[in-house]
Amino acid sequence: MTLLLVALGLLVAGGAAALLCRQSPRAANLLGAGSAAAACALGLVPAVTGLVGGGARLESAWSVPGGSLALAIDPLSAFFLVPLFGLCGLAAVYGAGYLSAAPGGRSPGPPWFHFSWLVAGMVVVVTARNAVLFLVAWEVMSLASYFLVTRDDEREDVREAGWTYLVATHFGNACLIALFALLGPRSLDFADFGPASHAGLLFVLALIGFGTKAGFMPLHVWLPEAHPAAPSHVSAVMSGVMIKMGIYGLLRTLTWLGPPPLWWGGLLIAAGAASGVVAVMFALAQRDLKRVLAYSSVENTSIIALGLGVGLVGLHAGTPGVAVLGLAGALLHVWTHALGKGLLFLGAGAVLHATGTRDLDRLGGLARRMPLTSATFLVGAAAIAGLPPLSGFFSEFLILYGAVQHAGLHSLAAMVALALMSGLAAAVFVRAFGGAFLGVARDDGVRVAHDPGAAMRAPMAILAPALLALGLSTPVLLPALAPVVEQIGGLPARRELDAATAPLAVVVLGSTIFLALVALIAGLRRSLLAGRTVGAAATWDCGYAHPAPRMQYTASSFAQPLTALFGPVLRTRLTWDAPRGLFPAAAAFATRTPDVVREAALRPLFDLVSGALHAMHRLQHGRLHLYVISIALTLVVLLLWRLS
Amino acid sequence: MNSWIDADLVLITLTSLVLLGASRLGTTIRMVALQGVLLSPLPLLLAGDAGITLRAAGLAVATVLIKGIGFPWLMDRAVRGGSLRRELDPRLGYNASLLAGVLLLAVAFLLSSRLPLPPGEGTPLVLPAALFNILAGMFVIASRRQAITQVLGYLVLENGIYVFGVGIASHQPLLVELGILLDVFAAVFVMGIVIFHMGRELDHIDTGRMTLLNDWEKE
């Protein structure tokens, strides 16, 4: 516990030091990144010991009404703390490289300050054992990330993204305040929360409040805006860890609400299925690489929701096999997504850093120019797309394995949705990877790209093997999840988890053989080609006289059959200027796929509200004496009314 | 002792009424100064049978210094330095203002008749005088155009609060009273400086012409 406090102190102090270091951007960068990385390394120690069974508590009084400074590490907290510290530490190292090369010579002090507070806020969110402390930390986390998202605030779209994020996050916070107010009329300490009479209402409030942060549709609108706007290491932290805070909150709430009725699981499965399938469709249609990843994040939290839903259905039905496997799959996916999406955002940041664009239809051929980035991106993409032997496969497999054991409409819906999502997710990442890294560069800036500096390379080079190791060791690690699952589900989990390791081990064995074969063939090819000259030539060019790189099959072309199929949902907008005449000159073609929830539901709603509130502006006329008269009149009327 | 308190309260009320009907800036400032001086014996008189304590004496001296001398001097300086117009040019005529003052006095008595006081605190006139000064201060702020009269209105309002504080809550510690005095002093000091500079920069301190300073863009 002491180490955790030291880490928190180090974060706050380092952030403040970076902020104060205005003279030297270099020093600010080093201070901010160094303290954050050191704090995360320190914090990993109590997190890992917490996971293997060494819990810790700390409690002290706080002058805030209803509040107490209660922190604790139990298996559930530790499970979220490990990826939090791990990814944030690596992101800090990456950020040192990313921010030092920031254009315009802006001081990296403020972003490091906010980054430190973001990490500290998340640590306290996960360890807080008092509702007031939790809400304060939650707000710190939200605000710090807001400032990070709006770092490039001279750009209109960034300001718009920040505004969307701020509104969405506070909508969620309002639900959370209501949730805790209803949970604790007597005491706001987590230890005193117990099964409540109106548990259904509380569950819905938690689902909306935490779901906004986790990005369940239709509450996801901030995600595709905020992730691309933030600096890449922050996108990695936001997507990898921060949205998982929503999952953590939901899990923590479930431990208080008592045995779940069937409709909770049903609601989670329905929400997860709908939001996952729609999100993955949108991921297919996006041209912005980071936006693809953001939609993929929505899809992955939906997979977690599906796993939780299966788990709750199993709990209700009293079948521990279903419950344990669903929950374990959801938990494993938390780690998978934290590492995998973190890695992908770091890779996307490296691409953006090197080429200056995130447009998939302008990138291309980066595999040769940026070998490390492309290799690590491939590992991350395979993990997120759920290919064996990476852990994404295992988490989805566990959820499906659990769902299969339960006969019913709920589990059937979960299976169908998960299958559809996995298939489409594979297409999404084939498209993203192919568009960015394969083929030939489509733009001049892309042609001269190169791998980033050591500070940015190292985190990617660490995350990719870690992801592979997590996948290969899943059969061994799985039983270690038992305490966490037991804490959420309130039932013994060890036996079911042990039983599930057997099929996983077969998959690992099979994939290892496959990987060995691939390595063998690659080695063979290499030895055969050694000593011969290898020429590179254009592929068959369909008889065109002068094929240009822009004529390549683009990412948009790849996705077109699918996007056309989902056209009614996606509503992709085409703007084009067709070539005319026998000797056409300029022509243009562009597609844009705005978010359907944002465009069709939220924008009209907000327009309505702002129109209705327009009348209120008449009150702000600027005439001072009328203000004073209205204050005085209110005072007199109130006095007359209360004193009658 | 009570008759002295009541006489003092009546005088304070009268100064406010004069202020409402005054047409010259100089008169207004002098009335505020007079009011500050008249306020100063209140803590001594209200100390009553308990005898005059050091606390009450200190408060009386501080009141004279700040409200009777300090503020009027600051205002006077702002008027001279900014070469302001000496006429008040109110939104509402002087006679109408006086009439409104009488109305406010009636409202003050009406309100205080309904406000139950703890027994043994002050005299029956404390509450009406305090409320009237508060309302009159607000009225001055609302009905006069120049920024300087609004500061004066604020002072009258604050004097009302002071009467209320000294008269009703006589047990509150000296530190609180002095703290409030200091707050008001800081506020008036800042306002005096602002008005001084506004008068120099803008050639007028008519708040009615400052409506463009709000956040909302007119379309």
User: What does the DSSP assignment read for B73-141?
Assistant: HHHHHHHHHTT--SB---SS-HHHHHHHHHHHHHHHHHHHHHS---TTSS-TTHHHHHHHHHHHHHHHH
Q: Which pLDDT score, from 0 to 100, does residue A116 have?
A: 93
Place of tokens 């499906």: A400
Q: Which pLDDT score, from 0 to 100, does residue B219 have?
A: 43
A638–B contact, CB cutoff 8 A: no
**B107–A636 C-beta distance less than 8 A:** yes
From chain B, the residues in CB contact with A625 under 8 A are 91, 141-144, 207-208
- Pick from B111, B138, B139: CB nearest A639: B111
B49 vs B127: CA distance, rounded Å? 21
Stronger pLDDT, A448 or A113, i.e. the higher one: A113
Q: Which pLDDT score, from 0 to 100, does residue A101 have?
A: 65
Closest residue, chain B, to A623 (C-alpha): B211
Q: Is the pLDDT of residue A362 over 60?
A: yes
B219 vs B213: CA distance, rounded Å? 15
Which of A613, A631, A636, A644 to mutate against chain B (most B CBs within 10 Å)? A636
A622–B contact, CB cutoff 8 A: yes
Cβ pair A252, A183 in contact under 8 A: no
Instruction: Report the run of H or E that residue A58 belongs to, with start and end.
Output: strand A56-61
Burial of A613 (0-12, 13-18, 19+ CB in 10 A): exposed
Q: Which pLDDT score, from 0 to 100, does residue B51 have?
A: 65
Q: Is the pLDDT of residue B89 over 70?
A: no
Interface of B with A in 186-215 (CB under 8 A): 207-208, 210-215
Q: Is the pLDDT of residue A283 over 60?
A: yes
Of A59-68, A470-479, A538-547, B150-159, the range with the lowest mean pLDDT is A538-547
A615–B contact, CB cutoff 8 A: no
pLDDT digits (tens, 9 = 90+) for A217-232: 888 888 888 888 888 9
Mean per-residue pLDDT for A362-368? Answer: 84
A625–B contact, CB cutoff 8 A: yes
A594 vs A592: CA distance, rounded Å? 6
Half-sphere exposure of B94 (CA within 13 A, CB side): 11
The sign of the CA dihedral B152, B157, B162, B167 is: positive
Q: Which pLDDT score, from 0 to 100, does residue B112 have?
A: 85
Q: Which pLDDT score, from 0 to 100, does residue A513 have?
A: 92
Provide the pLDDT confidence category of residue B173 given band limits of 50, 70 and 90. Answer: low
pLDDT digits (tens, 9 = 90+) for A88-116: 999 999 988 888 765 556 778 888 999 99
Provide the pLDDT confidence category of residue A143 given band limits of 50, 70 and 90. Answer: very high
Q: Is the pLDDT of residue A123 over 50?
A: yes
Stronger pLDDT, B188 or A223, i.e. the higher one: A223
Task: State the alpha helices, DSSP H only, in A150-261.
Answer: 156-183, 199-214, 223-229, 232-237, 243-254
A315 vs A322: CA distance, rounded Å? 8
Its pTM stands at 0.79
Greatest Cα pair distance, chain B, in angstroms, is: 65
Q: If DSSP codes are grouped into helix, strand and coil, which group holds residue A185?
A: coil
Q: Which pLDDT score, from 0 to 100, does residue B204 have?
A: 66
